[in-house]
Amino acid sequence: MLEFLVIGYILYFLCSVYVSLNQISYVPKFLDKKALFLSKENYIKAGHYSIDKEKVALISHIYSFLIFCLWVLFGIVFLQNHLQIEQAWLKTLVLLDLFIVISWVLSLPISLYSSFGLDKKYGFSKMTIKLFIKDTLKSAILFFVLGNIVIYGLFLIITYLPIWWIYSFIFIFVIIILTNMLYPLIREKMFDKFLPLEDKKLDKKITNLLTSVGFKSKGVFSVDASKRDSRLNAYFGGLGKTKRVVLFDTLIEKLSTNELLAVLGHELGHFKNKDILKNIGVMAVMLFCFFAIFGNLPQSLFNSLNLENSPASLMILFLIFTPFLSFFLMPIISLISRKNEYNADKFGANLTSKEDLKSALLKLINENKSFPFSCKAFVFFYYSHPPLIARLKRLGYKEK
């Protein structure tokens, strides 16, 4: 079993590296060609950003693989053997906390460079050291409070319940649903400032648009995303009675009223097509498969790693090996997601205006510096949305 997991992780690493190298060599072929969708200056800038971002991703793949080797070869065993704590539940909490904190610290250099180096170079990141530290401390508090509750819950289930992996799946699935429901409230209380729209005419038009398709929410809010990043975005946050429409202040600033309505029309397409429920169903199947695998690991695996067959070891192995399982499942999920995006575009165009949606997409491309070309392997593995060229062509865009 260990051989299967290690070989799978190596294949995941090699595949990730191959896709990144392919993308890095593919994008430069288009830099000297006629600019598409963007001004020539932004087109060149977007291309270089795409290349540099993938170079960082390539380094990250290699670095993550080295960290994986360190954990599997001696890191987990070292933590297990040097924690002299008699209470099993406390040892589990401390062991998981140490594993997650050490993993976070090791990943910090890449994260810091992406935010303070790469994204600042291309004019995206507005993050300050003070804000980064503030966000990090708040995230740490959330993890140590809520994260440890989840870890303790899993410890009890694994220790005391038969066929524990089924109950663990149910427990985590409920936690995920609750997290999605409470996400806007958590963001508002701890990270972002949510304000009612100042433009009352825009607020009324959005409310009428939502009402026309039967979308009930707690309101429409603007969020001060510009303090961290200059990119444009909008989302429907929460589930059930906690649903709310959230517009980045950057989006409100850059898009016209009709373009904003077109973007929201696209998002409402996901609501009407029940894409959110479909995504929850797909996630549930994937999560169930993961728990089925890790709930039936043979004792020989733990012997090979010199680990105790304990709740802590199971949780750490789950965290280490699920990335490669997710990587190979993501193309299937992304394929479904891309189809959903086309349908949402169609719905949004019919609900508002095809021309306004095309115009909004073109502005998003320019403001977010989205390079329009990617290699097929990159699209296959990483694109949850269709390439912008394909989306605009479906909407009847003709290059001038």
Q: Domain spans of the chain?
A: 2-194+268-394
Question: In the predicted model, is pLDDT for residue 311 greater than 80?
Answer: yes
The pLDDT of residue 318 is: 92
Is 139's pLDDT higher than 90?
Answer: no
Q: Give CA–CA dist 78/72, Å, rounded.
A: 10
**What pLDDT sits at residue 63?**
94
141-155, 336-350, 360-374: least confident range:
360-374
Specify the length of the chain in residues.
400
Candidates 227, 245, 88, 230; CA nearest to 152 is 88
Q: Quote the pLDDT of residue 241.
A: 66
Q: Is the pLDDT of residue 280 over 60?
A: yes
How much is the average pLDDT of 61-78?
A: 92
What's the pLDDT tens digit per position in 72-105? 988 899 998 888 888 999 999 999 999 999 999 9
pLDDT at 326: 87
Q: Could you tell me which residue, 151 or 191, shows the higher pLDDT?
A: 151
Q: What is the pLDDT of residue 385?
A: 85
Tell whether the model's pLDDT for residue 400 goes beyond 60. Answer: no
pLDDT at position 370 over 70:
yes
Beta bridge partners of 236: 245
Provide the percentage of residues in the chain whose pLDDT is more than 90. 32
pLDDT reading at 225 higher than 60:
yes
Give the global pTM.
0.85
- At residue 238 the predicted structure's pLDDT band, cuts being 50, 70 and 90, is low
Look at residue 353 in the predicted model and tell me its pLDDT: 84
Of the two residues 162 and 368, the one the predictor is more confident about is 162
